[in-house]
Amino acid sequence: MSDSAGTLFDDASAAAADGRAGTSVHNLLIVETDGGSRGNPGHAGYGALVRDPKSGVILKEKAGYVGIASNNVAEYSGLLAGLELAHEIDPDCRILVKMDSKLIVEQMSGRWKIKHADMQKLAGQARRIVDPRRVRYEWIPREKNKDADRLSNEAMDAGMAGVAWKPKNSGEPKTTVQTGEEAAAVADTPREATGTLNHVEIWVQDLDAALASMGWLFERLGFVPKDTWKDGASWAGNGTYLVLEAGPDVVPAPYDRRRQGVNHLAFNAGTRAEVDLLARRAASHGWSLMFRDKHPYAGGRKHYAAYLENAEGFEVELVAGPDA
């Protein structure tokens, strides 16, 4: 994997073989792709982009939600999308594919065998999109594949929220290349907060118990059931979504909110009367009231809220509006 872009393609007859030698506009295009699965298998998505190797500008990008699939399927889907994008830009160019999947790089380079039938099918599709003699593969570490990783996560977020992925800057060429002075200027410039919460994913040991307590509470707070799968479920509302997930990846240990990490979730729950009613009803769904001696001002005299805990030790805070 140490070949440079200038010596990657040593088969000078590759372009001539199909009668299109010398017709390429770009000569070489860089394809960066990635894919991911939240659960493996789980909600999966891919991201792909085409970059000009001289300027570093992103010429085209694409992301897509795959559904419930494995990491490998998502990563191969990203490869297919990247090859298609490059072919659309210049059907005669040579392509350098950069991925952080060692498996796919080695398989597509012909050094590792492809044993799984689904992977064989996807690899075959990739070879049909572009003449394999015009494509070379290079493994890169994950930290150098951030743009494709960002796209794949955007696709998973969109798919789990039930909406289509849309590029943030549609039609505008983009580049991640910055000088040191430009990067420093951006870091020092105050900016308006735009990072609203997209979703919260909670891993649990007992999914049925979590559905009975937290799932019930999510729906009472206005979140609508969105999706269910073998080891999880999601709810959407107010521009964000919530996920409960169990499965073999969850470490078999009791939950302790006092350890390092997120301590509890807090929700705006309406008026004081609505908070009181919800807290009373929650008692029938596995929740108990915390800080009884200070309720409803455990957070301070100006903070009206109910603090609840379920049997697994998860805590939620139901906050009344300031004018309620």
Q: What is the pLDDT of residues 154-211, one digit of tens each?
A: 998 888 888 889 886 544 444 444 445 544 444 455 545 456 677 899 999 999 999 9
pTM of the model: 0.52
Chain centroid to CA 232? 17
Q: How many CB atoms lie within 10 A of CB 129?
A: 17
Contact in structure between 156 and 43 (CB atoms under 8 Å): yes
Residues 6+ apart with CB under 8 A from 254: 205, 312, 313
Residues 6+ apart with CB under 8 A from 5: 28, 30, 53, 96
Q: Of 155, 170, 184, 134, which Cα lies nearest the Cα of 78?
A: 155
Q: Are strands 42-51 and 57-69 parallel, antiparallel or unpaired?
A: antiparallel
The pLDDT of residue 31 is above 90: yes
Percent of the chain with pLDDT over 70: 83
C-alpha–C-alpha distance, residues 214 and 45, integer Å: 27
209: its two tokens? 């118990």
Q: What is the mean pLDDT of residues 131-149?
A: 93
* Segments making up each domain of the chain, as ranges: 24-178, 199-319
26-30, 60-64, 70-74: which has the highest mean pLDDT?
60-64
Look up the CATH number of domain 199-319: 3.10.180.10
Q: What is the pLDDT of residues 243-298, one digit of tens each?
A: 999 988 888 888 999 999 899 999 999 899 999 999 999 999 999 999 999 999 99
Which pLDDT does position 19 carry in this prediction?
45
The answer as to CATH 3.30.420.10 being correct for domain 24-178 is: yes
